Structure 1
Amino acid sequence: MLDARKTATCPHHAPKDHPAVKPAKVGILLANLGTPDDYSYWPMRRYLSEFLSDQRVIDYPRWKWQPLLQLIILSKRPFSSGAAYKSIWNHDKGESPLMTLTKDQTAKMTEALTAKYGDQVMVDFCMRYGNPSTKSKVDAMIEAGCQKILFVPLYPHYAGATSATANDEFFRALMEATWQPAARTIEPYFDQPEYIDALANSVEEAYASAEKKPDVLVCSYHGMPKRYLMQGDPYHCQCQKTTRLLKERLGWDDTQILTTFQSVFGPEEWLRPYTVEHVAELAKQGKKNIAVIAPAFSADCIETLEEIQEEIHEAFEEAGGESFLYIPCLNDRDDHIAALTRVVAQNLKGWLD
């Protein structure tokens, strides 16, 4: 990660009282969604308040939404969400699995990028909501001498509620910098061959070790209101393309793989089909053995470890399903790290070659 101890020196030909300047670096800042500091009530409430107050996530007028959120939703939801987090919490390290996995990914990315670029780069991570904040990490990179920063939201697919809001927070942090670094953000990598290969490898490995071969693979993506698609958000189309490319890479036909959407919130219609309903329908149709993968998540989190493996799994079994295989996110797999390293390298061209 960051090493801010590099010697700072006065620029050549500058007067002796000129402030010292550290050697120029290129910062690579990985960003994930975020996590509460703890699963107890107040940490959960702070996290949920920040998350659900983001108008990229919930775009209702503030005068209408905030009283409902602060007075009603956040009086109850921290308890239910806290219980869900407690069921998956990494108690040994005192943190959520997403935090643990993001640290592991960052360590491997640091190793890979340092091997490629030496001490010209610094790698770290931040969270859009909660800690470590985006601003704290941007400030640390600037302090360490990063005159260029590549911002890397760890979302393969673009969505306003994920990539865009992460970028928003990055640029807000830059607004407060006295000496702004040059800045870049990455394009979504949902169709990059290395990413598709990593997904396919994880599926092939899971199928090879499964006790019962699944009848169908359900690609469950995080949902969003259908209205966002109608407004021009490309997320739905990018998810469909990932499923198609994965199918082609595996050499399968349309009967062996399908796309669904999970994590529905609120009263309006979201992208369909809903995963929790569709897996139950599959069981009723005689598809007794299924596998589920979550390609839109770069690391396992509450939506995969609790929602998929508990809620969605339970819905499948209650409808008559027999064998439910969850295929973990790519996490810190070597092929995933290689794919991310290639994405970063492509976006560093012109800065580092």
Structure 2
Amino acid sequence: MTNSQDAAATTSTSIHAQQGEAQPALVLVNLGTPTAPEPGPVRAFLREFLSDRRVIEMSPLLWKPILEGIILRVRPREVAGKYRSIWMDEGSPLMHYTREQARLLGERLPGARVEVAMRYGQPSIGSVLDRLHAEGVRRVAILPAYPQYAASTVTTINDAVAQWIGRNRDGFELRLHRSFPAAPAYIEALATALERHWERVGRPNFLTGDRVVVSFHSIPVAMDEAGDPYRAECRHTVAALESRLGLAMGSLTATFQSVFGRAEWLGPQTIEEMAELGAAKCPRVDVICPGFMADCLETLEEIDQLNRETFVEAGGGDFHYVPWGNDSEGAVASLEEQACIALAGWV
């Protein structure tokens, strides 16, 4: 071997040794949030979110005039008001709790570094991958904070990762985690949240009309008919939760929320269910949202404010929103279970 070849081999060995020393990274990804509850930041967030072809499966030639000419002119002020109603001293609830989840996961996973990324807004997936790569990390596991798989949530995260790969010559050993609709720790977290709630207020009496509603974010029916596994995974979650709670099949009422636009969406709609239950003088309803690992606009404003108001004003009795995620022991344990799968063999 020549001196130059020997030097090159030594350098290559040194580089790989340095790469081998870097801890693998787990990137916990959630949807994202405006940076402030004001029209400007909300407009920027909505523009990025609603420009994603995985979210709005319409020709950009048709959709962009609607988005720019109507939605982004009208909606930001209204949506900003909703964000203000849930904003914390720490900022966005979704951002705060996702960061807390990552911090607590890091304490449980000493062999890996845990980072937070958002599909829309900051810190973006691309910026986090840029930083990890610059710091010598070469093993990365992407963990979407979505227990149920949908193209508009998990697949679009994969798209963003693929875009980063397309911009770079040197990449990562990469793992893309899927979903966990009936994972043991996840179902245990949901069940424990309900059981602790029932310890405080009493178990619901289904015979007298009490209801437990399990509300998931909806998707357009067209996405479901195109083969999206989301509805099946939501059903899987409900069945597993009923089994864990010792309830007969069908005891829990599954509904779908956050519908917008004129397309047909998966139903029944949560808010319509609340109106019907209220009109029927339902004495009590408990609502849990298994698809949201961290509280956000959809849980704190849409469910705990708008749906509560709808139920009570229609004539219903007690309304209880049952939080389960955030920085709770159960939520972190469920993420830890998935993280260990995603990082298997690396830590």
Provide TM-score, normalisation by structure 2: 0.92
User: Which residue does the alignment assign to 1:315?
Assistant: 310
1:133 to 109, 116, 124: 124
2:194 to 178, 196, 203: 203
**Alignment-mate amino acid for residue 107 of structure 1:** R
CA RMSD in angstroms, aligned pairs only? 2.1
CA shift at 1:85, angstroms?
A: 0.2
Is the 1:148–1:182 contact (alpha carbons within 8 Å) kept by the matching residues of 2? yes
Equivalences, count: 336
Matched, 1:267 2:255: no
**Alignment-mate amino acid for residue 152 of structure 2:** A
Give the distance between the partners of 1:302 and 1:275, measured in 2 at CA.
15
1:334 to 297, 317, 329: 329
**Alignment-mate amino acid for residue 42 of structure 2:** M
Matched, 1:109 2:100: no
CA shift at 1:167, angstroms?
A: 1.4
User: Which residue does the alignment assign to 2:4?
Assistant: none
CA shift at 1:284, angstroms?
A: 2.4
When structure 1 is superposed on structure 2, of 28-37 and 321-330 the one drifting more is 321-330
CA shift at 1:24, angstroms?
A: 3.0
| 2:149 alignment partner, SS class | coil
More helix by share: 2
Give the distance between the partners of 2:75 and 2:87, measured in 1 at CA.
17
> Are the structure 2 counterparts of residues 19 and 200 from structure 1 closer, same or farther at C-alpha, using a change threshold of 3 Å?
closer
CA deviations on 1:264-297 (whole Å, 9 max, x unpaired) are: 0110110010000012212223322000000011
Matched, 1:14 2:5: no
CA deviations on 1:139-163 (whole Å, 9 max, x unpaired) are: 1111122111100010000001111
**Alignment-mate amino acid for residue 175 of structure 1:** G
User: Which residue does the alignment assign to 1:38?
Assistant: 36
**Alignment-mate amino acid for residue 316 of structure 2:** G
Give the distance between the partners of 2:11 and 2:160, measured in 1 at CA.
35
User: Which residue does the alignment assign to 2:49?
Assistant: 51
Give the distance between the partners of 1:248 and 1:284, measured in 2 at CA.
30
When structure 1 is superposed on structure 2, of 261-270 and 167-176 the one drifting more is 167-176
Matched, 1:88 2:77: no
CA shift at 1:348, angstroms?
A: 2.1
2:160 to 155, 169, 177: 169
User: Which residue does the alignment assign to 2:319?
Assistant: 324
CA shift at 1:212, angstroms?
A: 7.9
CA shift at 1:12, angstroms?
A: 7.4
Residue pairs, 1:155-304, within 5 angstroms: 155-210=146-201, 213=204, 215-254=210-249, 256-304=251-299
User: Which residue does the alignment assign to 1:67?
Assistant: 65
CA shift at 1:345, angstroms?
A: 1.1
CA shift at 1:329, angstroms?
A: 3.4
**Alignment-mate amino acid for residue 10 of structure 2:** H
Provide TM-score, normalisation by structure 1: 0.90
CA shift at 1:241, angstroms?
A: 1.2
Which blocks of at least 5 consecutive residues in structure 2 are unaligned?
A: 1-6
**Alignment-mate amino acid for residue 106 of structure 2:** T
CA shift at 1:342, angstroms?
A: 1.6
CA shift at 1:30, angstroms?
A: 0.5
Which blocks of at least 5 consecutive residues in structure 1 are unaligned?
A: 1-9
Matched, 1:98 2:98: no
Give the distance between the partners of 1:181 and 1:274, measured in 2 at CA.
42
Q: Percent of aligned pairs with the same residue?
A: 38
When structure 1 is superposed on structure 2, of 298-307 and 247-256 the one drifting more is 247-256
| 1:25 alignment partner, SS class | coil
Give the distance between the partners of 1:158 and 1:14, measured in 2 at CA.
43
> Are the structure 2 counterparts of residues 113 and 202 from structure 1 closer, same or farther at C-alpha, using a change threshold of 3 Å?
same
User: Which residue does the alignment assign to 2:3?
Assistant: none
When structure 1 is superposed on structure 2, of 203-212 and 36-45 the one drifting more is 203-212
**Alignment-mate amino acid for residue 282 of structure 1:** L
Give the distance between the partners of 1:271 and 1:77, measured in 2 at CA.
23
User: Which residue does the alignment assign to 1:6?
Assistant: none
| 1:351 alignment partner, SS class | coil
Give the distance between the partners of 1:176 and 1:20, measured in 2 at CA.
25
Give the distance between the partners of 1:11 and 1:321, measured in 2 at CA.
75
Is the 2:100–2:327 contact (alpha carbons within 8 Å) kept by the matching residues of 1? yes
Is the 1:299–1:330 contact (alpha carbons within 8 Å) kept by the matching residues of 2? yes
CA deviations on 1:52-94 (whole Å, 9 max, x unpaired) are: 011100111000000110011100100010000011111x23x
> Are the structure 2 counterparts of residues 212 and 21 from structure 1 closer, same or farther at C-alpha, using a change threshold of 3 Å?
closer
**Alignment-mate amino acid for residue 13 of structure 1:** T
Is the 1:224–1:270 contact (alpha carbons within 8 Å) kept by the matching residues of 2? yes
